[in-house]
Homo-oligomer: A and B are copies of this chain.
Amino acid sequence: MCTTMNDLTIIEPRICELVRELTDAPATGGVADALRPVMSEVIDQAVASSQGGKRLRALLSLDAFDALTASHHDTGSSAHTAMLDLACAIEVFQTAALVHDDIIDESDLRRGKPSAHRALEHTVHNASIGRGLGLMLGDILATACIEIARRAARHLNNGDAIIESFLTMQREVEIGQVLDLGVEMTPLSDPQALAAASLNVFRWKTASYTTIAPLLFALLAAGVEPAKAQQQALAVGEPLGLAFQLADDLLDVIGSSRNTGKPVGGDIREGKRTVLLADALSAADASDQQELRDMFEAAHRDEQQVKRAIELFGKTGAIDRSRERISTLWKQSQTAITDLELNESLDESGKRRLTEACARFIPIDLR
Q: Which residues of A contact B (CB under 8 A)?
A: 22-26, 28-35, 37-39, 42, 100, 103-104, 106, 124, 126, 128-129, 131-133, 135-140, 142-144, 146-147, 150, 154, 160, 163-164, 167-168, 170-172, 174-175, 177-179, 181-186, 190, 193-194, 196-197, 199-201, 203-204, 230, 234, 238
Contacts and interface: CB of A to CB of B under 8 A. Distances in A.
A42 B204 CA distance: 16
A171 B22 contact: yes
B143 A174 contact: yes
Contacts of A135: 100, 103-104, 135
Contacts of A139: 100, 138-139, 142, 174, 177
A285 to B, nearest CB: 24
B170 A129 contact: no
Contacts of A160: 150, 154
A185 B124 contact: yes
Contact of A38 (B22, B106, B181, B193): B181
Contacts of A183: 34-35
Contact of A182 (B24, B30, B35, B154): B35
Given A34-B186, A234-B28, A39 B196 contact: no
Contact of A132 (B33, B150, B181): B181
Contacts of A24: 175
A126 B167 contact: no
Nearest to A230: B28
Contacts of A174: 136, 139-140, 143
Contacts of A177: 132, 136, 139
Contact of A126 (B35, B185, B230): B185
A30 B135 CA distance: 29
Interface centre among A35, A39, A197, A203 (most CB of B within 10 A): A35
Nearest to A198: B32
A178 B34 contact: no
Nearest to A182: B38
A182 B25 CA distance: 14
Nearest to A97: B139
A38 B179 contact: yes
Contact of A32 (B150, B154, B184, B200): B200
Among A100, A174, A190, A201, chain B packs the most CB atoms within 10 A around the CB of A174
B172 A26 contact: yes
Nearest to A183: B35
Given A28-B230, A35-B197, A196-B33, A136 B181 contact: yes
Contact of A171 (B26, B175, B184, B186): B26
Contacts of A175: 23-25, 39, 140
Given A139-B100, A197-B34, A204 B171 contact: no
Contact of A170 (B38, B39, B143, B201): B143
A167 to B, nearest CB: 5
- 7 shortest interchain CB distances as A-B pairs: A38-B182, A32-B200, A104-B132, A35-B182, A34-B197, A32-B197, A34-B193
9 contacts: A22-B171, A28-B234, A34-B197, A39-B178, A42-B178, A129-B181, A142-B143, A150-B163, A163-B163
B168 A26 contact: yes
A25 to B, nearest CB: 5
